[in-house]
């Protein structure tokens, strides 16, 4: 699995959380760039990511992530890729 694939999947997951069509994300996308992506939505988003990829993030890991590129890297790291 590669960053581009994860990025596309994350757009679908975030779209599901926000109840919108798939959302286009790029490496530099931040929560503030997406209408409706607030702190509560972020926790729901992380929860869905953890279920989808069967991984777990610590609170410390979550607060260090500032954009989609870093989130993709964190997922790949958890998946051992």
How many CB atoms lie under 10 A from the CB of residue 17?
A: 21
Percent of the chain predicted with pLDDT > 70:
98
Structure pTM?
0.92
For residue 32, what pLDDT is reported? 96
Mean pLDDT to the nearest integer, 24-46: 96
Q: Sort 69 into a burial class: Cβ within 10 Å, 0-12 / 13-18 / 19+.
A: middle
Superfamily of domain 3-78: ACP-like (1.10.1200.10)
Q: Where do the domains of the chain lie? A: 3-78
CB neighbours of 77 closer than 8 A, spacing ≥ 6? none
Q: Answer with the residue of higher pLDDT: 51 or 80.
A: 51
User: What mean pLDDT is reported for the chain?
Assistant: 95
Residue 68: name the closest of 10, 2, 15, 1 by CA.
10
CA–CA separation, 65 vs 61, rounded Å? 7
């Amino acid at each position: 699995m590669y960053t581009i694939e994860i990025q596309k999947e994350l757009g679908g997951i975030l779209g599901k959380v926000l109840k919108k069509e798939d959302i286009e994300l790029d490496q530099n996308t931040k929560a503030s760039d997406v209408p409706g992506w607030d702190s509560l939505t972020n926790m729901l988003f992380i929860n869905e990511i953890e279920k989808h990829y069967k991984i777990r993030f610590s609170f410390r890991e979550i607060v260090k992530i500032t954009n989609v590129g870093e989130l993709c890297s964190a997922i790949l790291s958890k998946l051992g890729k």
